[in-house]
Structure 1
Amino acid sequence: MTTTLLPLATTPKHIAIIMDGNNRYGKAQKLAAGAGHIAGKDALDPIVEHCLARGVQVLTVFAFSSENWARPANEVELLMQLLEQTIHEQMPRMHKYRIRLRFIGDRSQLSPQLAKLMSDAEATTAQFDAMTLVIAISYGGQWDIANAAQSLARQVVDGSIKPDDITAESLGQAVQLADLSAVDMLIRTGGEYRISNFLLWQAAYAELFFTPTLWPEFTPDELDRMMQDFANRERRFGMTSEQVQSGAAQTAE
């Protein structure tokens, strides 16, 4: 972890990370097939601890996308095994640091064993309040929004709401993580400049950060530099700089 934490003017409440670059790391290091994913799994722990030390409320990480099912079968099998292993390994840490563990994504494609492991982990840590770690498994932002729309459509059919009741606000309450704060920072490692169908609704006003660093080499120090950058950015949410500054001045009074 970073030994000296400089004060932050603003701490992001919710950080989301696309953990990209595991395969390329493994190839660059001439590791055995799949070893890059293992290295990526091990890289998560110090990032979680750093977020906790910084007072971040929610950390959401993209572990397996809905599109990843199209990868070679042996790689998918390895990733599912690593996800199970990650959950087992994280549980003692969740209890130690009192971190709530949650999962988002389409669980219908997961094995019953993995789905039960996820549900049990959520139930066991539900009362912890130091931070929330969200792991996205079999998740896609488009699936998330479509799933929310289907939920509202069913309510229209059963008569509990009218079509005109469907608004941006009601749809926002039906997507995954609706009970948590919106994403403030969205980080992608690995040198790609896209968000790859991750948290499309929740990250509508997120500050975006891209780094060429491959995920297994991503460190708390680099994360902290991004957090310092975030604290210096002006987030306008559609307003002018003058409006934002005026609002900040009124808050300070």
Structure 2
Amino acid sequence: MNPLNHVAIIMDGNGRWGLKYKNSRNEGHRAGLDTVEKIIKETIKQKINYLTLYAFSTENWNRPKKEINYLFSLLENFLTNKIEDLHKQNIKLNIIGVKNFSKKLNKLLNFSEKKTLKNTTLQINLALNYGSKLEIINAIKKMNKNNEKINEINLSKYLQTNNTPDPEILIRTGNTKRLSNFLLWQLAYTEIFFEKKLWPDFDKKDYVKVIGKFRKIKRNFGNI
């Protein structure tokens, strides 16, 4: 049975769900938060140590400004109301991406990271304003600046996930089959599961089913 230490998720389909059921993309984003909480709870139950959630990409700035503002207001409210609860559950919050948000949100993100820094039950990597290509380019620039040899070990050291093992599982909901500039380096040998359900409809049973499938996969890593 394959060991499982890290699950990464592209939470796709919130907007489409909102339009389908509530005639509002924003309502889909709100519903998606409920799924996030359910998946966090099940991740802890499954004794998985790392969970990386793709919340906002560098390309998402192309969305309508009203939708972007609503997304960040949702995040602010979530952290304001839930960070104490996350801390009590011994959950560590780690932000990957470039923090160039509002002063208020940046302060809240920094506070949340600092407050939960020493927690050990689960580390959540929240990918905000994250793009894997930019992450790799920045890692190479840092290696050059420090006159370090360019190799896999050194590059991995300068990635924002340097304190996190590579994911064994990637789940993408929303019936879309692409990586969307997410963890391109880290996913080299990750098992990928594309799910038809939109993110707000993805539930505990779906998550457990993916984990069960992963446990049975024969992982060769280039061998026979």
TM, length-normalised to structure 1: 0.86
For the pair 1:37 / 2:12, whether they are aligned, the reply is no
* Residue in structure 1 matched with residue 20 of structure 2 by the alignment: 28
* Residue in structure 2 matched with residue 101 of structure 1 by the alignment: 93
Counterpart residue identity of residue 21, structure 1 = G
The alignment partner of 1:103 has SS state of strand
* Residue in structure 2 matched with residue 71 of structure 1 by the alignment: 63
Runs of 5+ consecutive residues of structure 1 not aligned to the other structure: 1-8, 241-253
The alignment partner of 1:204 has SS state of coil
* Residue in structure 2 matched with residue 6 of structure 1 by the alignment: none
Aligned length in residues: 224
1:219 is aligned, of 203, 207, 211, to: 203
Residue 94 of structure 1: how far off its partner (Å) = 1.3
Runs (4+) of structure 1 exceeding 2 A deviation are 30-33
Structure 1 contact 11–56 (Cα < 8 Å) conserved: no
CA distance in 2, matches of 1:232, 1:27: 37
Runs of 5+ consecutive residues of structure 2 not aligned to the other structure: none
CA distance in 2, matches of 1:94, 1:149: 34
2:161 is aligned, of 149, 160, 177, to: 177
CA distance in 1, matches of 2:150, 2:4: 30
Structure 1 contact 11–227 (Cα < 8 Å) conserved: no
* Residue in structure 2 matched with residue 124 of structure 1 by the alignment: 115
1:196 is aligned, of 152, 161, 180, to: 180
Structure 1 contact 104–139 (Cα < 8 Å) conserved: yes
CA distance in 1, matches of 2:180, 2:217: 24
* Residue in structure 2 matched with residue 10 of structure 1 by the alignment: 2
1:85 is aligned, of 59, 72, 77, to: 77
The alignment partner of 1:182 has SS state of coil
CA distance in 2, matches of 1:44, 1:177: 20
Counterpart residue identity of residue 54, structure 2 = F
The alignment partner of 1:69 has SS state of helix
The alignment partner of 1:43 has SS state of helix
Query: Per-residue displacement from partner, 1:36-72 (whole Å, max 9, x unpaired)?
Result: 1111112100100100000101000000000000111
Q: Which is greater in Rg? A: 1
Counterpart residue identity of residue 51, structure 1 = T
Structure 1 contact 11–54 (Cα < 8 Å) conserved: no
Identity of aligned residues (%): 35
Structure 2 contact 189–221 (Cα < 8 Å) conserved: yes
* Residue in structure 2 matched with residue 246 of structure 1 by the alignment: none
CA distance in 1, matches of 2:199, 2:144: 39
For the pair 1:154 / 2:137, whether they are aligned, the reply is no
CA distance in 2, matches of 1:68, 1:141: 14
For the pair 1:186 / 2:170, whether they are aligned, the reply is yes
The alignment partner of 1:114 has SS state of helix
CA distance in 2, matches of 1:33, 1:232: 37
Residue 201 of structure 1: how far off its partner (Å) = 1.1
Counterpart residue identity of residue 121, structure 2 = A
Counterpart residue identity of residue 125, structure 2 = V
* Residue in structure 2 matched with residue 251 of structure 1 by the alignment: none
The alignment partner of 1:239 has SS state of coil
1:210 is aligned, of 194, 207, 214, to: 194
* Residue in structure 1 matched with residue 42 of structure 2 by the alignment: 50
Query: Per-residue displacement from partner, 1:83-137 (whole Å, max 9, x unpaired)?
Result: 2122223312212210111110011x31121111111111100111011011100
